[in-house]
Amino acid sequence: MPQFDLANVFLPQLFWLSVLFAILYFGVVRLTLPKLGKVMEERENKVSGDIEKAEKAKLDSDKLNEDYETGLLVARDEARKMLADAKSKAAASVEKKSANAQKKADETIAAAQVEIEKARASAMKEIEAVAADGASSIVERLTGNAPTKAVVSKATKSVFG
């Protein structure tokens, strides 16, 4: 095997290996990789920063959404309350109006009744007077004597109560 002819192959290969590997390490890798490492780090930071930002934005939007939901709920409650108020107010006003109308009607009815009562009483008086006159004239014709007013009124009174 030529590989084990160390007396002849070892030194030249080792020498050139040292030279070339030194160039590779100091002249190529050390000059290039750190640049790349910086960029990779930057990218990592940017990506993690972006993720953080996105997470924050999501949190914000979640909060906004929550606020919106609660706002909606409050508004709905308010609307419902307003509606109920309006309903009850309307009902109350209707009741009041109908009560008023009822009262007016009652008053009118009562007034009418009083009137009727008055009319009846006067009519009754007139009838009494007519009846007394009639009775006294009948009695006068039958007996020839006109009865006294007191007697006539007593008699009519006993009839009309």
Partner 1 sequence: MANPMEQFEIKDIAPIEYGQYDLSFTNSALWMALALVTVAIFLFVGTAKPQLVPSRWQAAVEYLYDFVRKMLDDNVGPEGRKFAPLIFSLFIFVLACNMLGMIPWVGSFTPTSHISVTLGLAVLVFAIVCIVGFWKHGLHFFSLFWPKDTFFPLAVFVACIEFLSFLSRPFTLAIRLFANMTAGHVLLKVFGTFVVSLGLFSDLPFVLAILPLTVTIALTGLEVLIAVVQAYVFALLASIYLNDAINLH
Which stretches of the chain bind partner 1, using CB under 8 A?
Answer: 1-6, 8-18, 20-21, 23-25, 27-30, 32-40, 42-43, 46
Return the closest-CA partner of residue 136 out of 125, 115, 151, 114: 151
Nearer to partner 1, 35 or 141 (CB): 35
**The token pair that represents 67 in the structure block:** 């606020």
Rounded Cα distance, 158 and 152, in Å: 10
Nearer to partner 1, 11 or 111 (CB): 11
DSSP 146: P
Provide, rounded to whole angstroms, the least separation between the CB of residue 26 and partner 1.
9
Rounded Cα distance, 68 and 76, in Å: 12
Rounded Cα distance, 70 and 38, in Å: 48
Rounded Cα distance, 49 and 25, in Å: 34
Nearer to partner 1, 13 or 93 (CB): 13
Provide, rounded to whole angstroms, the least separation between the CB of residue 18 and partner 1.
7
Provide, rounded to whole angstroms, the least separation between the CB of residue 73 and partner 1.
45
Provide, rounded to whole angstroms, the least separation between the CB of residue 48 and partner 1.
13
CA distances from 109 to 103, 113, 117 (A): 10, 6, 12
Provide, rounded to whole angstroms, the least separation between the CB of residue 56 and partner 1.
21
Nearer to partner 1, 40 or 121 (CB): 40
Rounded Cα distance, 16 and 63, in Å: 67
Nearer to partner 1, 37 or 134 (CB): 37
